[in-house]
A and B are shown apart, each in its own frame.
Chain A
């Protein structure tokens, strides 16, 4: 397993020189920022308008957890998107998307610890030890912490090659996140399995052979 964005391929993409391209590029980040903020904004709106249903704490837990997972998977789409479009914009978005995923993970965790468990430390520890899905969720969070902390440009520079190796841990975090969801779902539910499938497809793009084939076909076309 390895990542595929050596600088050469990034630069080999045709550079957009049109002015509309410049506007698009300038708008891209703010637009994506707003889009990824929407689930949180909805939560605040829903809370104060009684839209969270009979069990608001459960609703917040599910909402933040689902969006954490969706956005984490979205962050794993950036490299495949760059391969498909041969443009650098997905990589420019990657850090922001990743940090949004982390934001929702932290909100999810705080909801569980403060609102659900009411900071009952022994209950939380018991949960981690007794319930495999909570352990999986914890593992995912713990992996994401150093990744968020080293997401700055400065840290990227300082860590050099090691930065990439470190950030490959996001695959483990994503797997643990999906497993967390599968293990907690009551009965055989579809949604967790959809995430598993998406994760599986995204991981294919991290296989050397798969990517070589992909590039070959691209060149043939």
Chain B
């Protein structure tokens, strides 16, 4: 057990209490937002998770982003490039039935139904900071399980140096007629990154089944990397020996690296990464105009935990 976990553990009861308190606040805010603005927040017709959910001990103590905000402001280009498109066209994504192909350098490949994938895993709630490369961020309670626990079931072999992921591809998705990216959307991690205890597979958020616009039925959450690494609606997991191609890197290699770790010192051609706007849920009136930008943290604040992954690397070169 690491120091940070121990530290977090000491305060674990406190954290739980506070998160319950915050949750209540968020529900009230969410309801108000839904009532006043007519937001089609998922809060209105969200489906609670059927599994029991235990609290993780390392939860971020930042103020939660409202569920209405986290489920109506999304980048999911298969559903459209506007932030409001994914929630608008969420029902175009069919998640039942759903299966995931697992292949490549592993001893237990196969095609699995989503039910088979989820069955053995206990569901945990993890509050992570989520940092988009567009210099905004949220704090989201994800529900799911450690990615490593899932990957181990497929028995990756010694050649498995990387893991590649692929998002669903379907002509009914309104964004896919645009050639904004090469479809399908693909992402990847080095195997040790994927096996890191912070790498997470989410099937829910805010205690509810993950809405389509957030990547149902199963998405990655890699909290120390920019959001686009956290690939949504996964249909394929491949173990590879070579570094797999990743969508934004192929689209603009000078802007988006394979690693894409949150790093305020590596400037991006479009957005300075030094600061970020924390989207909490205040979206109306003059207060919304003066929400301060906060300084961004190295590795999104998870630097200590993931330091060993990048011990000998020049992170300006491998950005």
A-contact bits for B175-190, CB 8 A (1 contact / 0 none): 0001111000000000
**Chain A CB within 10 A, most for which of B72, B269, B288:** B288
B33 touching A50, Cβ below 8 Å: yes
Beyond A56-B283, A57-B289, whether A49 also contacts B37 by CB under 8 A is yes
Query: Which of A32-40, A64-72, A183-191, A209-217 forms part of the interface with chain B?
Result: A183-191
B270 touching A186, Cβ below 8 Å: yes
| Shortest distance between the CB of B90 and any CB in chain A (Å) | 15
Contacts of B292 in A (CB 8 A): 118
Give complex CA distance A187, B182 in Å: 10
A-contact bits for B59-103, CB 8 A (1 contact / 0 none): 000000000110011000100010110000000000000000000
Give complex CA distance A186, B69 in Å: 22
Interface of B is mostly: loop
Which residues between 255 and 312 of chain B lie within 8 Å of chain A, taking CB atoms?
267, 269-270, 272, 274-275, 277, 279, 281, 283-286, 288-293
Chain B residue with the shortest CB-CB distance to A187: B180
Beyond A54-B279, A54-B283, A131-B270, whether A188 also contacts B136 by CB under 8 A is no
A133 touching B270, Cβ below 8 Å: yes
Q: Is A47 on the interface with B (CB-CB < 8 A)?
A: yes
Q: Is B107 on the interface with A (CB-CB < 8 A)?
A: no
Q: Is A6 on the interface with B (CB-CB < 8 A)?
A: no
A190 touching B178, Cβ below 8 Å: yes
A54 touching B69, Cβ below 8 Å: yes
Q: Is A53 on the interface with B (CB-CB < 8 A)?
A: yes
Q: Is B251 on the interface with A (CB-CB < 8 A)?
A: yes
B-contact bits for A145-156, CB 8 A (1 contact / 0 none): 000000000000
B270 touching A48, Cβ below 8 Å: no
Give complex CA distance A27, B61 in Å: 59
Interface of A is mostly: helix
Which residues between 4 and 61 of chain A lie within 8 Å of chain B, taking CB atoms?
47-58, 60
| Shortest distance between the CB of B65 and any CB in chain A (Å) | 8
Give complex CA distance A99, B27 in Å: 45
Interface residues on B, range: 35 or more
| Shortest distance between the CB of B70 and any CB in chain A (Å) | 8
| Shortest distance between the CB of A110 and any CB in chain B (Å) | 11
B251 touching A187, Cβ below 8 Å: yes
| Shortest distance between the CB of A62 and any CB in chain B (Å) | 10
Contacts of A115 in B (CB 8 A): 289-290
Interface residues on A, range: 20 to 34
B270 touching A57, Cβ below 8 Å: no
Give complex CA distance A140, B179 in Å: 29
Which residues between 169 and 213 of chain A lie within 8 Å of chain B, taking CB atoms?
184, 186-190
Which residues between 29 and 82 of chain B lie within 8 Å of chain A, taking CB atoms?
33, 36-37, 39, 68-69, 72-73, 77, 81
Beyond A49-B284, A54-B72, whether A184 also contacts B83 by CB under 8 A is no
| Shortest distance between the CB of B51 and any CB in chain A (Å) | 28
A130 touching B83, Cβ below 8 Å: no
Give complex CA distance A57, B275 in Å: 15
Of B39, B270, B285, the contact of A47 (CB 8 Å cutoff): B285
B284 touching A123, Cβ below 8 Å: no
Which residues between 114 and 154 of chain B lie within 8 Å of chain A, taking CB atoms?
134, 136
Beyond A51-B37, A52-B283, whether A126 also contacts B181 by CB under 8 A is no
A131 touching B269, Cβ below 8 Å: yes
B272 touching A126, Cβ below 8 Å: yes
Chain A residue with the shortest CB-CB distance to B83: A53
B283 touching A184, Cβ below 8 Å: no
Contacts of A116 in B (CB 8 A): 293
| Shortest distance between the CB of A211 and any CB in chain B (Å) | 36
A53 touching B289, Cβ below 8 Å: no
A48 touching B84, Cβ below 8 Å: no
Chain B residue with the shortest CB-CB distance to A46: B284
A53 touching B180, Cβ below 8 Å: no
| Shortest distance between the CB of A8 and any CB in chain B (Å) | 48
B136 touching A55, Cβ below 8 Å: yes
What are 20 A-B pairs at a CB distance below 8 A? A47-B285, A47-B288, A47-B289, A48-B284, A49-B37, A50-B33, A50-B285, A52-B284, A52-B288, A53-B283, A54-B68, A54-B281, A55-B83, A56-B283, A56-B288, A132-B269, A133-B270, A188-B179, A189-B81, A189-B178
Residue numbers of B with Cβ under 8 A of A are 33, 36-37, 39, 68-69, 72-73, 77, 81, 83-84, 134, 136, 178-181, 251, 267, 269-270, 272, 274-275, 277, 279, 281, 283-286, 288-293
In order of increasing CB-CB distance, the 10 nearest A-B pairs are A50-B284, A54-B73, A50-B37, A187-B180, A54-B69, A56-B288, A54-B279, A50-B283, A115-B289, A50-B36
Residue numbers of A with Cβ under 8 A of B are 47-58, 60, 115-116, 118, 123, 126-127, 130-133, 184, 186-190
Given contacts A55-B83, A56-B289, A58-B277, 12 further A-B pairs with CB under 8 A are A49-B284, A50-B36, A52-B283, A54-B73, A116-B293, A123-B275, A127-B272, A130-B269, A131-B269, A184-B270, A186-B81, A187-B180
